Chains A and B, each alone.
Chain A
Amino acid sequence: MIRERTVRFGKSAPLNAVITEPGQIDENKPALIILNSGIMHKIGACRLSVKIARSAAVAGILCLRFDHAGFGDSEPRRGTAPFEQTAPQEVIDAMDYLSEFKRVKRFALYGLCSGADMSFETAKIDARVMGVIQIDAYAYRTPRYYLYYYLPRMMQWGVWINFVINRIPVILGLRKKQTDSSSIGEENMEMPSYIRDFPPQSYVEEGVKILVDRSVRLYYIFTAGQQECMNYQGQFRDMFPLIDFKNLLKETYLSDSSHIIKEPHNQKRVVEDIRDWMLQAQ
């Protein structure tokens, strides 16, 4: 029997969260902290974060889902510090809260998209993090990526016809590239303040190395929604050939999944895989 309660924590900004508790909390097991995905509130895209937390709690894992300052049901933070600076501190606040009130000593962090980025950044600076689950994390093309990308296309007549009709005039400067223009004015939209520019690959490599050296377990899930830079199972390992991941890395590529994992079968798989990974990671 699991139980859910609202909690509030945070030193520099009050952050609202839902804690999902298993029937019995084992202080020696790591707790799972679930971060916001983009600007979406703490239930996650298609309610995925709720499903992950409840499934993990049924398996005995304590979970906390929270809204970063200014997101969802948390008040905005005062000051001008950018999200990439404040977010890791807020995750640390979440760990401090669980350490103080639930006596948990180790943590796994979960995030999708910007949540993946902030999980990674926090894990680098806080030794209490024993595992990181990142969906559509930073990714970089490899030689095999290009092979899988271009080979099927070269076999299709339609691609060549499109290239001749549409791309060559652009390359020759005879026509401007068409851009997507939204019909919705900016005044009616709110976009994430965090602009997701992938850092240089060497920066991520350095971070991954820090985590591996600390024996942090890594679970990377990639979707076809990020196929502009990722398109096969095992690409993450190929990105960093100089890193000896030992047995710390698990990788999954969901070739038929959207970025926000809206397909029911992919949601089910992600929920179950994360629960199982958490149980094994203990």
Chain B
Amino acid sequence: MNPFFFGDSHRQLYGVYHTPTGQPMKSEGVLLCYPFGQEYMRAHRSFRQLAMLLGKRGYPVMRFDYFATGDSAGLCEEASIPQWVEDIHTASEEFRYLANIETVSLVGLRLGAALAAKASERQGAFNRVVLWDPVLSGQQYCDEIVDYIRYQQKLKVLPDFSGDFYMNGFPLLKSFRQEMASLLNLDQCDQYKANRYLLFNSSEQPHFSKLKSHFEQLKLNFESHLAQSPGNWNFVDNFGGVLIPNAIIQAIVQSFNL
């Protein structure tokens, strides 16, 4: 594990490079795209585990924090979807140089999957894109979060969620939510340019079927997998317990054998 900062020195990003431990070293690297907020906190350990397992199979792996998240520069309130999509490309370039590889694939979880899909609209940028329990639409994601806050706080009188608000300590500013709603719509986009798309779901959910149908209509090189696992990434406990859904992690790692 080699942590480092990269990118513009005024907006530096924090990344961790995992040198492959298995042989032979693959010429394809895997860039991991984190989810957002509490989901990021809870997924950090799983990403490390995924990186280690892929590394054992010879894949160089890099994970990184988007601007204004984790160890990267920026205030939480400066989060921006276009910036994060651009950060994926910046990280990918850094990764290619660092690992001396030509091909990069993406694995994104939840919002990270939606960002990975968005980043893959650029021609020739990525080989495979793994969408792990993806957020299908930014608007739907925001609605889910509002529902979660209502449930979590046992709210009887509904406050106004049209302005800025926080979820488990992470800001969801109005401008950020508008960006999510307008830019992240996986089941409407028709500009997917990666060579292959893989959808991994931890549970049967109707909106995943919708995405599957959409990909089939686009005649993408696409496959879908169900690996039953816990998927409540937003849960907060007082003990710092983190979620490591082994079944789906193993399934994703297995898919890189093919």
Contacts and interface: CB of A to CB of B under 8 A. Distances in A.
Given A184-B232, A264-B169, A192 B240 contact: yes
B76 interface: yes
A113 B236 CA distance: 15
Contacts of B1: 16, 73-75
Given A18-B14, A45-B169, A190 B242 contact: yes
Interface stretch (B23-31, B114-122, B243-251): B243-251
Nearest to A191: B241
Interface string B1-36: 101110000001010100000000000000000000
Contacts of A183: 230
A274 interface: no
B32 to A, nearest CB: 13
A243 B206 CA distance: 63
A54 to B, nearest CB: 9
Interface stretch (A23-31, A33-41, A91-99, A213-221): A33-41
Contacts of A45: 41, 169
A30 B141 CA distance: 44
A268 to B, nearest CB: 11
B201 to A, nearest CB: 16
B14 A225 contact: no
A189 B244 contact: yes
Interface residues of A, number: 40
Interface in A168-196: 183-185, 187-192
B239 A38 contact: yes
B238 interface: yes
B44 A41 contact: yes
Contacts of B69: 47
Nearest to B49: A190
B169 A188 contact: no
Contacts of B5: 4-6
B71 interface: yes
Given A5-B5, A73-B3, A260 B236 contact: yes
A5 B73 CA distance: 11
Contacts, number: 94
B161 interface: no
Interface residues of B, number: 34
A232 to B, nearest CB: 20
Contacts of B166: 262-264
Contact of A261 (B14, B169, B171, B245): B169
A42 interface: yes
Interface string B177-199: 00000000000000000000000
B230 A50 contact: no
B148 interface: no
Contacts of B232: 184
Contacts of B244: 188-190
A43 interface: yes
A114 B18 CA distance: 28
Contacts of B16: 73
Given A188-B229, A188-B245, A189-B242, A43 B170 contact: no
B66 to A, nearest CB: 12
A159 interface: no
B168 interface: yes
A72 interface: yes
Contacts of A184: 230, 232, 243
B63 to A, nearest CB: 9
Interface in A250-281: 259-264, 267
Given A5-B5, A75-B1, A189-B242, A40 B169 contact: no
Interface string B215-258: 00000000000000110100010111111111000000000000
B108 interface: no
A46 B168 contact: yes
Given A6-B5, A189-B243, A260 B230 contact: no
Contacts of A263: 166, 169
B245 A262 contact: no
B73 A40 contact: no
Interface string A108-120: 0000011000000
A6 B4 CA distance: 6
B45 interface: yes
Nearest to A37: B240
Interface string A44-63: 01111010000000000000
A47 B14 CA distance: 14
B44 A72 contact: yes
Given A6-B3, A75-B1, A43 B169 contact: no
B55 interface: no
Nearest to A14: B1
6 closest A-B pairs by CB: A38-B240, A46-B169, A262-B169, A39-B240, A6-B3, A184-B230
Given A18-B14, A259-B238, 7 more contacts: A5-B5, A6-B14, A46-B170, A187-B246, A188-B246, A189-B243, A190-B45
